[in-house]
Structure 1
Amino acid sequence: MLGLDVCEFGGQVLELLWLTVCYRGLMADNNDFAIEEDEDEKKLNYIPPAQKSLMEIQEMDKEDESLVKYKKTLLGPVPVTADISVPNVQVTRMTLLCDEAPEPITVDLTGDLKAMKEQTLVLKEGAKYRIKIEFKVSREIVAGLRYNHVVRRKGINAVDRKSYMVGSYGPKAEAHTFLSPVNDAPKGMMARGRYEIHSRFIDDDKNVFLDWEWNLDVNKDWN
């Protein structure tokens, strides 16, 4: 009985220590769960190049046969139809790829994003996983796509922040796929629990194509 009490007391001390270290985060506005501009981009003062439409690019240097062939190989054929009623970039699906998972961990991003906040994805502590995002480009080339996310836990903002360059893509009937580097789920008693994640798909011109929030539970096992 004494051993159990000591373990519980030790856990409480560690929890208190963790909250103390994160005190400054606790003092922030809990409702401010925003993704800010990447610090490296601020330092570089990066200015994206002027964007040209796909048709403009196709019409450029038409007399240069080798360049025309290169652009056709690089960009593919101009889409026969392009529905202007849909966004140029549509983010359709997010999957957590994990070989250890008993079943696929997939989220449909074309539905009600508010309802998605009520769902929770589960990872076993210490599991290795990658974030896979599928998206479509409908009409024009999109430059400098980037996937950003910020993680909040127990009301503390930015316990983790990621920014991945996805790249530039042209229109295509099939979905494009972004695959993140391998991530390790947090591990240990103090790391278990719920994490709130704010994700964003954005381009060089700061066009936000999708902004969504989701929950991740890190558990001792898969149940």
Structure 2
Amino acid sequence: MSHADEDSGDFAPSASTGYKLTLDQYAQLPAEDESLARWKASLGIAPSGPTTGPKVTVETLELRSTPMPGKKIVLDLTNETKNNPIIIKEGVNYNFRITFKVNHSIVSGLRHIQRVKRAGINVDHSEQRLDSDSYHPHPTGEAYVKDFPEEASPSGIFARSGTYAVRSSIVDDDGEIHAEWDWGYKLAKEW
């Protein structure tokens, strides 16, 4: 069973409406319009660009906290972290930073959806919009960076018992999953 089949309701983004064009449709818009041509060039839209492979590539997901030695933990997005959970100190403020690239298509309404389970029971579910309504490929290959709001880690003996299993996903307005990975963490008295 694929991740998309499991708990699909947890990863369904909020619905939004709007007119959507594909990258090829944008490229086909009239070239005679000078301002439109400049706008398309600024987005890196060209009718002959590559259109294969993933639309979005997540490069890094970092856990950042001021009191943490080293100030950040970069998660391994190959699902190795699922079997080797990271340690988060209890009762500290932290946030996540995601770095991603848009490869060959304009994508709209990207969201980071995350579900946290402990002992098989849902304990948290969050959905964060990645700021912009739409993203386009940068002609220079530059990545986008999004810092999520700060939150506090739970504390206490019950919070420290057990491992938290997390499924993270990057989904667009059309419900297309662009990236998905599982990881885990444990809470401890110290990093």
TM-score (norm 2): 0.80
Which residue matches 1:161? 125
As a proportion of its length, which structure holds more helix?
A: 1
Out of 49, 58, 61, the residue aligned to residue 18 of structure 2 is 49
Equivalent position amino acid for 2:68 in 1: A
Whole-angstrom CA distance in 2 between matches of 1:77 and 1:39: 29
Superposition deviation, residue 191 in structure 1:
2.0
Out of 131, 142, 148, the residue aligned to residue 174 of structure 1 is 142
Which residue matches 1:108? 76
Equivalent position amino acid for 1:164 in 2: Q
Q: Please, what is the CA RMSD of the aligned residues?
A: 2.7
Which residue matches 1:123? 88
Identity of aligned residues (%): 33
Equivalent position amino acid for 1:125 in 2: E
Change (3 A) 1:37 1:192: closer
1:93 aligns with 2:93: no
Given that 1:35 and 1:150 are in contact with CA atoms closer than 8 Å, whether structure 2 keeps it comes out as no
Superposition deviation, residue 69 in structure 1:
3.3
Equivalent position amino acid for 1:209 in 2: H
Change (3 A) 1:198 1:71: same
How many equivalent pairs are there? Answer: 181
Superposition deviation, residue 148 in structure 1:
0.4
Given that 1:200 and 1:210 are in contact with CA atoms closer than 8 Å, whether structure 2 keeps it comes out as yes
Whole-angstrom CA distance in 2 between matches of 1:184 and 1:152: 17
Which residue matches 1:36? 9
TM-score (norm 1): 0.70
Whole-angstrom CA distance in 2 between matches of 1:79 and 1:182: 41
1:205 aligns with 2:169: no
Q: Deviations over 1:38-69 (max 9, x none)?
A: 7993xxxx354353222422442544433443
Partner-residue secondary structure (3-state), 2:165: strand
Unaligned runs of 5+ in 1: 1-31
Which residue matches 1:215? 184
Change (3 A) 1:161 1:154: same
Given that 1:126 and 1:187 are in contact with CA atoms closer than 8 Å, whether structure 2 keeps it comes out as yes
Q: Deviations over 1:173-203 (max 9, x none)?
A: 1221222111111122222232111111111
Whole-angstrom CA distance in 1 between matches of 2:24 and 2:97: 30
Superposition deviation, residue 163 in structure 1:
0.3
